[in-house]
Structure 1
């Protein structure tokens, strides 16, 4: 059975609320480097409620925000290490990036 439009709207609102809270969390953490915040913010803003993820390649992310690939790789590794982002890697396909709020 297909989801109703109300369910889809509720799911979308919940995701965008999560994304907003994630960006807020990222901005106040003293253990997140400035470049990591910039990369994480940019990536989060490209995630949508349907996929709850983004697949842009590292080269494109680096080009879009004006940093080198190493900065993007380091930022993604930092976000993974802090358990703020989940990365699903599949051979021959772009990685899939999803945000996650830390448990308190």
Structure 2
């Protein structure tokens, strides 16, 4: 009996869950960083491979400052876990990096 192959969407969401676990376990990711990155990870969809949100809206939803959002996303980008495409005055695009693929 052959094993059913997963769809690309199923693989994406499986990898997204693994990415969230990686953020949780990383020693340089603080509690505040994790809250922001968890928010981004859970809202990143298969269709876009990420999410579009403004920093102030992420801060409001995560109950933290815009500085915390910017610092967390910059740290994750520096560590190679997140791609950030900035659009000043508009929504930024955040894309989790599944480095193990």
Q: CA deviation at 1:93?
A: 3.9
CA distance in 2, matches of 1:52, 1:74: 22
Decide which structure has greater strand share: 2
- 1:45 counterpart = 2:42: yes
- 1:56 counterpart = 2:60: no
- 1:25 counterpart = 2:22: yes
When the two structures are superposed, what TM-score results if normalisation uses the length of structure 1? Answer: 0.83
2:78 pairs with one of 63, 67, 81: 81
Q: CA deviation at 1:34?
A: 1.3
Alignment-derived partner of residue 99 in structure 1: 96
When the two structures are superposed, what TM-score results if normalisation uses the length of structure 2? Answer: 0.86
Structure 2 runs not aligned, ≥5 long: 1-5
Alignment-derived partner of residue 10 in structure 1: 7
Structure 1 runs not aligned, ≥5 long: 1-8
Q: Root-mean-square deviation (CA), in Å?
A: 1.6
Deviations 1:55-93 (A, max 9, x none): 110000000111011110110111111110001124564
